[in-house]
Amino acid sequence: MANIQSPLPGTFYQKPSPEEAPYKSNGDSVNIGDTIGLVEVMKTFIEVKSDIRGTFSEYLAVDAAPIQAGDFLAELMA
């Protein structure tokens, strides 16, 4: 198990836009540099990229939830 952490505070989104599916779902493979979500702050949406490789397990942060820097966003199986 390994976790992806938020690089900055803001609002976390699991999906690229409200109508689309989440970036990743259970069983998806994740490579280093893959986008797993968005953080909205200062009128900007910042892509959160994975710094680890593995298989996507689940999101740990709720869609549209307030988050702080360092919060766990998603869990991967190594």
Partner 1 sequence: MALKILNSGLSTSIQDLGRPGYFHIGIPIGGAMDRLALQSANMLVGNDAGAAGLEAVFMGPEIEFTQDASIAVTGADIPIKLDGELREAWKSFNVKAGQKLSFDFLKTGARIYIAISGGIDTPIALGSRSTYTIGALGGFEGRNLAAGDEVPIGNGRLVPEGRTVPEALRRMPESSAELRVLPGLYWHRITEQSGKNFFDDEWKVAPEADRMGYRFRGGRPLDFVDRNQPFGAGSDPSNIVDGCYSYGSIQVPGGTEPIILHRDAVSGGGYFTLGAIISADMDFVGQLQPHTSVRFRRVDMKEALSARKERKDILTKITEALA
Which residues contact partner 1 by CB under 8 A?
Answer: 5-11, 40-44, 46, 66, 68-70
Nearer Cβ to partner 1 (22/45): 45
Please state, in angstroms and rounded to a whole number, the distance separating the CA atoms of residues 63 and 78.
23
Quick one: tokens of 1?
């198990």
Please state, in angstroms and rounded to a whole number, the distance separating the CA atoms of residues 5 and 25.
17
Nearer Cβ to partner 1 (25/66): 66
Place of tokens 């986008």: 35
CB of 46 to partner 1, least distance (A): 7
Nearer Cβ to partner 1 (5/28): 5
